Chain A
Amino acid sequence: MNIITTDNLTKKYNNLIAVDNVSFSVLKGEIFGFLGPNGAGKTTTIKMLTTLLNPTKGSANIIDFDIIKNRDKVRKNIGVVFQEPALDTELTGGENLDYHARMYAISRDKRKERINAVLKLVDLEDKIDIIVKNYSGGMKRRLEISRGLMHYPNVLFLDEPTLGLDAQTRRAIWNYVKKMNKEEGTTIFLTTHYMDEADYLCDRVGIIDRGKILVIDTIENLKNSIGNDVITLTCSNINSLENRLEKEKWIFNIKKHDSKLTLGVEKGDEKIPLIIEISQSEKIRIKSISVRKPTLDDVFLHFTGRTIREDEKKINVETQSRFRMRGGRR
């Protein structure tokens, strides 16, 4: 059963198309991820789905409620954890949750019970009376996630849930997300630009770039679609080797990138000698060669023609300074 469906959802800002005719659906109970570089349109999509922005064109439904015509119904059924922290730092953790529950019309007895339950889920029970400005970055994030769950939402939106957190905390957050997906049966829609995050958490992933969805599938299928094994090599005359290898039928796909060739093949270890033979006959010297299982990075490279890290290098400087200005999350 579909819990989110969008139909040609589009958002334009003046001349910039942030989200371009995006159509997809999310199944009930799954963890669905939007994977894409910064500025791909992930946050804009979430803002439209959570009724904070009006789409320029197209429509979307959440459990049969239209995001424009039936806003209040949509709002009741979703929980949102925004990319920027959205807590009142002058209040205690418990108060933040309590006020949230009141806005969603949860009765007094239920409120208490639920606050304890969600805090337990993220291991913050003993921090209930501490003012949020004294929380660490990871604790704030956990509190926000628990707040998103307060009103038993059918869908929980997580916008870059582990942005700016250290490795250990990220791992912990992932486990909380998995746990609530399992224990509460909450459908989760998340966005991320971390490959490992999408790989670890998501049942299905949509790769989004420049406002367009390039592909949607399970992680398994995505990886298989580019071959069972991936061979990466560097060599002396990369262009001629690429031209030569393109004639070989057993290579599913070839991508040249960063003076490296990436080949998708079946049974990679048996293909290495073949490649070396071919290159020797062409008088091309191979400098390095390796075989490995495909990762989401390879999938992303295959569909966008570049790695997500390159984008990041460009944007990182900007984002970091923005976070510093906001006082950061750390």
Chain B
Amino acid sequence: MKATEIQAIYVMWLRQMKRFIRSKSRLVSSIVQPLFFLFILGSGFRVAIFEGVGDYLSFLAPGIIAMAILFSSMFTGISVLWDKQFGFLQEVLVAPISRISIIIGRTLGGATVALIQGSIILLISLALGVQISGAIGLIFTLLFMVLIAFTAVGFGLVIASKMEDFQGFQLIMSLVVMPLLFLSSAFFPVTSNPTMKSIAMFNPLFYMVDGLRGSLIIGVETVNSPLFNLIIVIFICIFMMSIGSYLFSKMES
């Protein structure tokens, strides 16, 4: 790869980071919102006993981490639309760099931001007494976090390439993302209900949440083994990123 392309990737990454650090409201809300979920759902459902779930907070924490990474990365993908509307995209597209570098830089930037947010929530969960597994588990956790981030950026790119404005985004969030998230076992186990369990098998988010949970938490019951989940998630990630990059490269400014 040429030095120019690496420089271009770096610029795209740096831009994401600068924007993230400067946008205080985004910084605060991206951490506060998952924490609300963690505290409110955590304390509310703690008294309810789900079948096969030990400590509910330990069950919930990976779900919330996945959610935070998902939302943050999707936002990065969709912010292409923002750049398109405010003209900045043209400036990038007219530069002598390949579109692939633009996508890689942006994805890495978005993933870095998402990982920072996910890690903050992970640390807070630790402080709240969530029991996590050892080094290998953490490596797996990190892998899942990265893959979730990439997949979600890809998904965001798909939406951004196909949509003209922001109205459609709300629709996608409430009609696609939220239902998938609720059916992913992020907040409660899907195993108790057979219908829900069979739906979950077709839900990409389910494999991510289940895998993240299995890698991160000690002694939790998961549907699939982390390794199995990992393989499936890698495929989903490659699939989503390919469609996202393809549509983005076809996009006319």
Contacts and interface: CB of A to CB of B under 8 A. Distances in A.
B88 interface: yes
Given A52-B252, A52-B253, A103 B96 contact: yes
B179 interface: no
A103 B87 contact: no
Interface stretch (A28-36, A80-88, A192-200): A80-88
Contacts of A105: 3-4, 7, 96
B94 A91 contact: no
B25 interface: no
Given A85-B87, A102-B10, A102-B11, A90 B95 contact: no
Contact of A88 (B8, B85, B88): B88
Contacts of B43: none
Interface in A30-82: 47, 50-53, 72-73, 75-76, 78, 80, 82
B91 interface: yes
B97 interface: yes
Contact of A91 (B18, B90, B97): B18
Interface in B110-128: none
A147 B8 CA distance: 16
Nearest to B89: A86
Given A75-B96, A84-B87, A91 B15 contact: yes
A88 B90 contact: no
Given A85-B87, A90-B18, A90-B19, A51 B3 contact: no
A72 B94 CA distance: 9
A104 B96 contact: yes
A99 interface: yes
Interface string B66-99: 0000000000000000000111111111111100
A259 interface: no
A103 B7 CA distance: 7
Contacts of A95: 18
A100 B10 CA distance: 12
Interface residues on B, range: 20 to 34
Contacts of A102: 7-8, 10-11
B87 A82 contact: yes
Contacts of A103: 4, 7-8, 11, 92, 95-97
Given A75-B94, A104-B95, A90 B87 contact: no
A313 interface: no
Contacts of B86: 84-86, 89, 326
A88 B10 contact: no
Nearest to B2: A105
Interface in B1-59: 3-4, 7-8, 10-11, 14-15, 18-19, 22-23
Interface of B: 3-4, 7-8, 10-11, 14-15, 18-19, 22-23, 85-97, 252-253
